[in-house]
Amino acid sequence: MLFRQLFDAESSTYTYLIGDAVRREAVLVDPVREQVERDLALVDALGLTLAWIVETHVHADHVTGGRALRERTGARTAVSRHCGASGYDRELDDGDRIVFGDEHLHAISTPGHTPGSTCFLWRDRLLTGDTLLIGGCGRTDFQNGNAASLFDSVTARLFTLPDDTLVYPGHDYKGRHVSTIGEEKATNARLAGRTREEFVALMDNLNLPQPKKIGEAVPANLVGGTG
Sites of contact with ligand GSH (CB under 6 A): 11, 59-61, 130, 136, 138-139, 171, 208, 211-212
Nearer to Fe ion, 49 or 226 (CB): 226
In this structure, how many other beta carbons lie within 10 angstroms of the beta carbon of residue 23?
A: 14
Residue 130 interacts with Fe ion (CB under 5 A)? yes
User: C-beta of 44: minimal distance to ligand GSH in Å?
Assistant: 29
Nearer to ligand GSH, 53 or 218 (CB): 218
Nearer to Fe ion, 73 or 221 (CB): 221
User: C-beta of 216: minimal distance to ligand GSH in Å?
Assistant: 11
**Residue 29's binding partner out of ligand GSH, Fe ion, none, with CB under 5 to 8 Å set by partner kind:** none
Cα distance between residue 176 and residue 185, in whole Å: 17
User: C-beta of 117: minimal distance to ligand GSH in Å?
Assistant: 10
Candidate ranges 88-96, 101-109, 125-133, 196-204; the one touching Fe ion (CB under 5 A):
125-133
Nearer to ligand GSH, 101 or 136 (CB): 136
What DSSP string describes the chain?
-EEEEEEETTTTEEEEEEE-TTT-EEEEES-BGGGHHHHHHHHHHTT-EEEEEE-SS--SSS-BSHHHHHHHH-PEEEEEGGG---S-SEEE-TT-EEEETTEEEEEEE--SSSTT-EEEEETTEEEEETTSBTTB----SSTT--HHHHHHIIIIIITTS-TT-EEEESB-SSS---EEHHHHHHH-TTTTT--HHHHHHHHTT--PPPPTTHHHHHHHHHTT---
Cα distance between residue 92 and residue 83, in whole Å: 10
Nearer to Fe ion, 73 or 188 (CB): 188
Residue 8 interacts with Fe ion (CB under 5 A)? no
User: C-beta of 150: minimal distance to Fe ion in Å?
Assistant: 12
User: C-beta of 35: minimal distance to ligand GSH in Å?
Assistant: 15
Nearer to ligand GSH, 25 or 130 (CB): 130
User: C-beta of 141: minimal distance to ligand GSH in Å?
Assistant: 9
State the residues that interact with Fe ion by CB under 5 A. 130
